[in-house]
Chain A
Amino acid sequence: MTARARNATPPSGSPPHAPPGSSPDPGGALRVLRTRSVIREFTGEPITDADVDALVTAMVAAPTGSNRQAWAFIVIREPQRLLSVRAFAPGVIGTPPLLLVACHDHSRYTDEDDARVVRELGRLCVAMAVENFMLAAHALGLGACPASSFLPEPIRLLLDMPAHLEPVLLVSAGHPAHPPQPSERRDIDEVVRYDSYA
């Protein structure tokens, strides 16, 4: 089935057993998913405590393998500390009012765990939590940008982080200085196949 054929079927509304908390406005939720784009420059306006609470609550609702929750997050809002961490993160371009350090928490594993499989899964879970954070930011009218270009050891030192926390991604967030400009994506029929790749 092509995307066009699939889209010919009208939406049927919520299924009869929709999970609690399902969006009463699926169109609005899908619009948030479709329209998020990277924001690298921010106004100087701080993010409110209520918005920070909403962001981190959405973040930790992300999928996590075996409900291991092998993650830890540091929300940096103190300006001087944030600027020092940013100095060791070339991938953070702008000057955000909030910087999230998303970490893989290796203390959440036991000796019985298959380290290779479970720990690789843990990094994926951190990435999914970061995506939740960024989508929540977009839904609140904020912007965010993930960065993987940073030096973990200086950041670990600046933030008094224990050895079992491995920074995986940094996310800058704040009020967008400019309207979002979604980037071009490959055609959906080029990247999505149905039932087989043929």
Chain B
Amino acid sequence: MTATPDPASRDTELARLAAYLLASSRSLLTEPASYGPIRLIDAARRTLALLEPDGAANPHYNTVKTRIEDSHRSKTPIDLPTLLDELCLQMAHGLKGIHTAQPQTDEHSEPA
């Protein structure tokens, strides 16, 4: 059974994520350019971690998060282009699953 997340707690977590993005952006002005992709990858990991408490995680998202965590532990240089290509494809699989699970909507029923 998954506990329902406290909305106030969720708001705080999202605010901290926004703070992380801003702090990363500010830090990157004076840090090596190569840190940029790493900060963005970690932002993706933090975002995916927020999905777990309300049961929204799906296997593809979990794979992405786990692979990012594995990359943090790696003692050998990471092939970032390959890693990112694979992570993006994994995210696309996850998102495609959501689309196919939802009932098709009639575009003509949208308000004008």
- Give the interface of A toward B (CB within 8 A): 40-41, 80, 83-84, 86-90, 93, 149-151, 154, 178, 181, 183-184
Contacts and interface: CB of A to CB of B under 8 A. Distances in A.
Q: At the interface, is chain B mostly helix, strand, loop or mixed? A: helix
B73 interface: yes
Contact of A40 (B19, B20, B27, B72): B72
B75 A87 contact: no
A93 B17 CA distance: 13
B60 interface: no
Contacts, number: 43
Contact of A149 (B17, B27, B69, B72): B27
B58 interface: no
A41 B31 CA distance: 23
A168 to B, nearest CB: 15
Contacts of B23: 87-90, 150-151, 154
Sorted from nearest, which 7 A-B pairs have the closest CB atoms?
A: A87-B19, A87-B16, A90-B24, A88-B23, A87-B20, A151-B23, A183-B75
B72 A41 contact: yes
A83 B72 contact: no
Contacts of A41: 69, 72-73
Given A150-B23, A150-B27, A93 B16 contact: no
Contacts of A149: 27, 31, 35
A62 B73 CA distance: 29
Contact of B27 (A86, A90, A181): A90
B39 to A, nearest CB: 6
A28 B42 CA distance: 36
A86 to B, nearest CB: 8
B26 interface: yes
A181 B72 CA distance: 12
A151 B26 contact: yes
